[in-house]
Amino acid sequence: MSARAIVVGSGLAGLFAALEAAEQGVPAALISVRPSERAQSVMAEGGINAALGEDDSTENHYNDTMAAGRFLADPNAVCKLTAAAPGIVRRLLDLGVLFNMRGHDEPELRYFGGQKIKRTVFAQSGSGKQIMSAVIQEARKYEARGLITRYDRHAFAGLAVGDNGCTGCSIRKAYSGEMTYLHGSVIIAAGGMHGLFGGTTGSLDNSGAVTAALFRTGVPLANGEFIQYHPTTAAMPGKRLLISEAARGEGGRLFVLRDGKPYYFMEDRYPELGNLSPRDVISREMWSLGEQVYLDLTGLPDEVFRARLSDTLDDCLTHLRIDPRQNPIPVAPGVHYFMGGIFVDENHRTAFPGLYAAGECCCQYHGANRLGGNSLLGAIFGGIAAAHSALADGPQAIGGEYLPPDTEQSAEDRIATQTIVRDALGIARDRAELENGIATLEGLPGSMPLLARAIMTGALERRESRGAHLRTDYLEQNDTGFRKTTVVSYDGGTISARFENIPERR
């Protein structure tokens, strides 16, 4: 027996999982294809949600999260998440995160989508950078004591599986290809499936390859069809540049041109939340308009750009060559976040004993649509919860077979997969597109096309429209049939989907 946590992924979820283990005196191996400083968590801009305002409560935060997710998230998990949020922000402050502050020890709050109350704690428009710098420093203390061992530039290769579940995993060193075989509980924190789509706002290092390998091994996937298209992104070579929701939180307005004049469609059609409606609502509205949409920041005071949106201003000036203080920004919805992923229970256990998942790679808090500002929170809370479960379950028995690694996809097959995935899983889908996608992918070898087929199978079987899943052939939300979790499994060479009831709130 050996007590060790093997954490795959060193973004926010992975760092907190490793810290939690190390703080309890259990050594953690921290594996990632790039150093933490290059994880996608660093790219987060707008902030992290916590009910800290005088007019707010954790119950309000819970209600907004459940409503935005169209009541598909596990209520007990969301309850724990939102209750923990104020404490998580205090911990970040204790670690030295430089949030914008109101007064000596209270962080400033901003508006964010899907929430009527100011609830998002932020560090200008570089919240991820500030949070990650502080957490990386904290992890270094434990690295110095030998409680966290880093395996940077190592990729997950395959699980070790024994009679009683997962007993470890193998990892492969970049460039040399050297293999290392590790034994212990495995916590997957490998981020979203951005590489499966290409051209997203996120990091292509998060290829989805770990999720794909686990799926092929028999670990079920949940709610994969819920893919968040962020309404305000701009085209760049090979990716989409995010214009953070913080820009609308600070007063930015969306419009289309009508007779040469701006028509602020969200304000007209959704008077309650307007430009801060949930992301699925805005993206769907933009899709149905089918016209060029602009984000108007020209009315914001200079002080707002200087003290609260400096990274957004820099991005527009540098990458788009647009000065948003003078001109509106042309925007379009782009793939941004994956609400679904590895199927975990309320405590981040997967179907395999000894295997846990946290952060954007798993399905837990966001249901059919995520609230902006809830994923940094979910990554931190999930990382801690996954480590707790791993420590509570105790060390894994030695033994188990190390499964052979996937053969890497050729660049040609990767691009072919991405094209098929983007075509079949756009903002709007229908049966013919999904069936065609599945059939075309069947000709491509490897785990990534298999993962794509699994997501499309879930999307095909969910015959309704809900949150980020818009079926043009089933436009209504169907609570009787589908207020359920989609669970897709792979067994004996067959992909199958089933729908599980959402637990009642305790």
Ligand X SMILES: Cc1cc2nc3c(=O)[nH]c(=O)nc-3n(C[C@H](O)[C@H](O)[C@H](O)COP(=O)(O)OP(=O)(O)OC[C@H]3O[C@@H](n4cnc5c(N)ncnc54)[C@H](O)[C@@H]3O)c2cc1C
Q: Is 422 a catalytic residue?
A: no
Binding part of the chain for ligand X, among 90-98, 204-212, 429-437, 481-489 by CB under 6 A, reads 204-212
Q: Which residues are within 8 A (CB) of 471 and not within 5 positions of it... i.e. 6 or more apart?
A: 428, 429, 430, 431, 459, 462, 463, 464, 465
Tell me if 7 contacts ligand X by CB under 6 A: no
Binding status of residue 379 toward ligand X by CB under 6 A: yes
* Nearer Cβ to ligand X (262/405): 405
Q: Does 446 bind ligand X (CB under 6 A)?
A: no
Of 4, 11, 341, 433, which one interacts with ligand X (CB under 6 A)? 11
3-state secondary structure of 408: coil
The residue range among 185-193, 324-332, 459-467, 480-488 that interacts with ligand X, by the rule CB under 6 A, is 185-193
Q: Please give the single-letter amino acid code of residue 333.
A: P
Among 161, 190, 363, 448, which residue interacts with ligand X (rule: CB under 6 A)?
190
Q: Applying CB under 6 A, which of residues 65, 115, 124, 127 lies at the interface with ligand X?
A: 127
Distance in Å, CB of 435 to ligand X, minimum: 30
Contacts of 478 (CB under 8 A, 6+ apart): 463, 464
Q: Which amino acid is at 425?
A: L
Closest CA to 208 of 235, 227, 183: 227
- Number of residues near ligand X (by CB under 6 A): 46
For position 354 contacting ligand X by CB under 6 A, the verdict is no
Token output for 313: 């201003």
CB closer to ligand X, 31 vs 438: 31
Residue 311 interacts with ligand X (CB under 6 A): yes or no:
no
Question: Rounded to whole angstroms, how far apart are CA atoms 11 and 149?
Answer: 15
* Nearest CB to ligand X, comparing residues 210 and 454: 210
Catalytic residue, chosen from 279, 349, 370, 429, is 279
Alpha helices in 290-373 (DSSP H): 302-307, 310-315
Amino acid identity for residue 442 in this structure: E
Would you say 5 and 17 are in contact if contact means Cβ atoms under 8 Å apart? yes
Contacts with 493 (C-beta within 8 Å, 6 or more apart), sequence order? none
- Please identify, among the stretches 38-46, 325-333, 462-470, 489-497, the one whose residues bind ligand X according to the rule CB under 6 A: 38-46
CB of 396 to ligand X, least distance (A): 20
The SS3 of residue 155 is strand
Show the site string, 224-263: x = touches ligand X by CB under 6 A, - = not: ------------------x---------------------
Residues 187 and 359: their CA atoms lie apart, in Å, by 10
Q: Give the one residue of 4, 20, 45, 300 binding ligand X; rule: CB under 6 A.
A: 45
Q: Which is nearer to ligand X, 202 or 278 (CB)?
A: 202
Q: Is 33 in the site for ligand X (CB under 6 A)?
A: yes
1 Cβ contact list (under 8 Å, min separation 6): 395, 396, 397, 398
- Measured distance CA(180)–CA(2) in Å, rounded: 17
Q: Does 34 bind ligand X (CB under 6 A)?
A: yes
Amino acid letter, 423: D
- Span from 201-209, 325-333, 447-455, 477-485 in contact with ligand X (CB under 6 A): 201-209
Q: Is 41 in the site for ligand X (CB under 6 A)?
A: yes
β strands within 37-191, DSSP E: 48-49, 101-102, 106-107, 109-110, 120-121, 148-152, 154-162, 165-173, 179-183, 185-188
- Cβ-proximal residue to ligand X, closest one: 11
Using rule CB under 6 A, residue 46 touches ligand X: yes
Min CB(320)–ligand X separation in Å: 14
Structural contact between residues 31 and 112, judged by C-beta atoms closer than 8 angstroms: no
Contacts with ligand X by CB under 6 A lie at 8-14, 31-34, 39-41, 43-48, 127-128, 155-156, 189-191, 201-203, 205-207, 209-210, 242, 337, 359-361, 372-376, 379
Active site residues: 279
